[in-house]
Structure 1
Amino acid sequence: MNRPKPNVLVLPGYQNSGVGHWQTRWEALDPTFTRVRMPDWDHPVRDAWCRTLDAAVAAADAPIVFAAHSLGCLTTAYWASRYASAAQLAKIAGALLVAVPDPAESHFPQDASGFAPVPLERLPFASLVVASTDDPYGAVPFSQSCANAWGSRWIDIGPRGHINADSGLGEWDEARDWLASLGAPAKR
């Protein structure tokens, strides 16, 4: 029996993911990857971001896999625990959550509103939390505690900063393999 090809919803963080970011590269490689366009990338408000994600899930066919970075990870956790209906959650096959930011860190964007405290309920879908050992926005103990609370597998990729375009990951094939393990299309 053939499973339907999942739709990948790309969830960037604060200020969006620009040229050279692995999320942007993935979208260019595969038409099943769709960026969720948040209402204000520079002044994120949790309620607006979660409602935007909810509308994107409603518009997409199941199954759906999230490819989230930074504030997109917190949006995913809030949406799953506080906004999503059971029918919406049933559409989600999994989530790749990269560089989870800690709202208590001094580098956390002061323009972001409503993202603390971080929800620590188990996610109702498979998930992976990917962390860097020198991420200025979220220390290893924080990302590990989120992974444990969310029921996620935790992956340490060593010192790669905030796991963004500056990290030099290119198309980041290893993470595409992790995404595929959650039901997303395999890299080509």
Structure 2
Amino acid sequence: MVAYVVVPGIGGSGAQHWQTLWERRWGEAAVRVSPRSWDEPDLGDWVEAIDCAVTERAASSEDVIVIAHSLGCWAAAEWDAREKRTTVAGMLLVAPPNPAGDRFPRTAAPSFAGVEARPLACPSAVIAGSDDPYCPIDVAERFASAWGSAFRNAGERGHLNAASGLGEWEWGRAVLAGLVRE
């Protein structure tokens, strides 16, 4: 049985975001991390929230997959780099923002300053939009390479959030299904 740990970015992924729609579809097989603040992210707090959610899911499932969006990608990668209580079967990292870019939320999330892409300990895939305002596609591809992740270009879909109009985002679910099969 597969369980999913959902890690949104700043703001926590609203009602029309693909992460929220996937969670609804999966029911009890999915859990959203619960940091103290979605709007004033603290890296240590988000990493701890991921660890708690993964540990909880691992107790009742064979495989746990982390599904992160935007700033959540960096929290998930940092969680993977730290000593943790359990491991995951895979990670889907969608639309990671560029920490060196002008639009990175340094003021709202100062503890995320200086995050770096390092090899992940599990199979993973990165999906990025070719016109994401938070990260050029070539930079996202470099992150994928540094993480040891497969890379998928979603085309001109922006930041791959609710504003992108993805709905249930079947294409993203197909990439996820490939990761789960691996």
Normalised TM-score (structure 1)? 0.89
Tell me the SS of whatever aligns to 2:124: strand
Amino acid at match of 2:103: H
Instruction: Write the distance in 1 (CA, Å) between the matches of 2:72 and 2:146.
Output: 17
Higher helix fraction: Structure 1 or Structure 2?
A: 2
1:32-181 equivalence runs, <5 A: 32-61=29-58, 62-85=62-85, 88-89=86-87, 92-109=88-105, 110-181=107-178
Instruction: Write the distance in 2 (CA, Å) between the matches of 1:66 and 1:25.
Output: 16
Contact kept in structure 2, 1:50 and 1:83, CA below 8 Å: no
Tell me the SS of whatever aligns to 2:172: helix
Instruction: Write the distance in 1 (CA, Å) between the matches of 2:143 and 2:155.
Output: 18
Tell me the SS of whatever aligns to 2:90: strand
Give the deviation of 1:119 after TM superposition. Answer: 2.5
> Is structure 2 residue 38 aligned with structure 1 residue 7?
no
Identity %: 41
Q: Deviations over 1:136-160 (max 9, x none)?
A: 1111122111100111011111111
Amino acid at match of 2:174: D
Give the deviation of 1:182 after TM superposition. Answer: 2.1
Give the deviation of 1:39 after TM superposition. Answer: 1.2
Give the deviation of 1:58 after TM superposition. Answer: 1.5
Give the deviation of 1:25 after TM superposition. Answer: 0.6
Q: Deviations over 1:37-96 (max 9, x none)?
A: 2210010010111011111112112410011100110001111112425xx12xx11111
Unaligned runs of 5+ in 2: none
Instruction: Write the distance in 2 (CA, Å) between the matches of 1:72 and 1:160.
Output: 19
Amino acid at match of 1:11: V
Tell me the SS of whatever aligns to 2:77: helix
- Cα RMSD between the aligned structures? 1.4
Contact kept in structure 1, 2:31 and 2:53, CA below 8 Å: no
Unaligned runs of 5+ in 1: none
Contact kept in structure 2, 1:101 and 1:108, CA below 8 Å: yes
Contact kept in structure 2, 1:121 and 1:149, CA below 8 Å: yes
Contact kept in structure 2, 1:51 and 1:83, CA below 8 Å: no
Amino acid at match of 1:164: N
Following TM superposition, where does structure 1 have runs of at least 4 consecutive aligned residues deviating by more than 3 angstroms? none
Tell me the SS of whatever aligns to 1:130: strand
**117-126 or 9-18, which deviates more:** 117-126
Instruction: Write the distance in 2 (CA, Å) between the matches of 1:26 and 1:15.
Output: 17
Give the deviation of 1:118 after TM superposition. Answer: 2.5
